[in-house]
Homo-oligomer: A and B are copies of this chain.
Amino acid sequence: MDAALQLLEHQSFSSLGVREVTREAGMSPAGFYRHFRDLADLGVALVEEALGSLHAMVLAAFAGLGEPEEVIDHAVQVIADHVREHRAHVRFIARERFGGVRQVREAIAAELERFTDEVACALAAQPVSAGWNPADVRMVAELYVDHMVLTAVALLEAEADAEAEGRIASTARRQLRLISLGRRHWAAG
């Protein structure tokens, strides 16, 4: 799996080959089939590795108890840290979210859906959502999750350029502030 992630830095999953992966991993082609039935199988395993451990993290990002301003700063910081420490995983998810392999696409969609549910739950618990239609809460959660993914990949593309990273983080914060403002003035019901 590490070998595959390595290779996926410069190509997309549907162009990966069994031989290519095993060569990178330093083993024989046949060895691959001891662990995975398919390349698609490897793909969904990678999805679980990349997104499985993410849930706790993001709920932590939401757990700011202070002003919305502080919560936003904290959330963006958490995303930036995660990108710095899991570049390959983030790249994989962004690249294959709409990629060419159905099983992988669907695994990512399912995981992001669970994810959106959890965010919706956290949002519903905030005072600002009092009296809101649940469908509207979920719509905001979708907005947040999509925004998070796009921010992560933008930070990735900054390639450790601190100045670019700062610009992206600043934009992301202002966008979140705008959305937060919209929430506060939404006509609930």
Contact = CB atoms under 8 A, between A and B. Distances in A.
Interface of A: 8, 10-15, 91, 94-95, 97-101, 136, 139-140, 142-143, 146-147, 150, 153, 171, 174-175, 178-186
A171 B186 contact: no
Copies of the polypeptide in the assembly: 2
A185 B180 CA distance: 11
A15 B100 contact: yes
A140 to B, nearest CB: 7
A20 to B, nearest CB: 12
A98 B175 CA distance: 21
A185 B181 contact: yes
A140 B171 CA distance: 9
14 contacts: A12-B12, A12-B101, A15-B15, A94-B98, A95-B99, A95-B100, A139-B178, A142-B175, A146-B146, A178-B183, A179-B179, A179-B182, A182-B182, A184-B185
A178 B186 contact: yes
A98 B153 contact: yes
A150 B109 CA distance: 13
A122 to B, nearest CB: 17
Contacts of A153: 98
Contact of A150 (B136, B146, B181, B182): B146
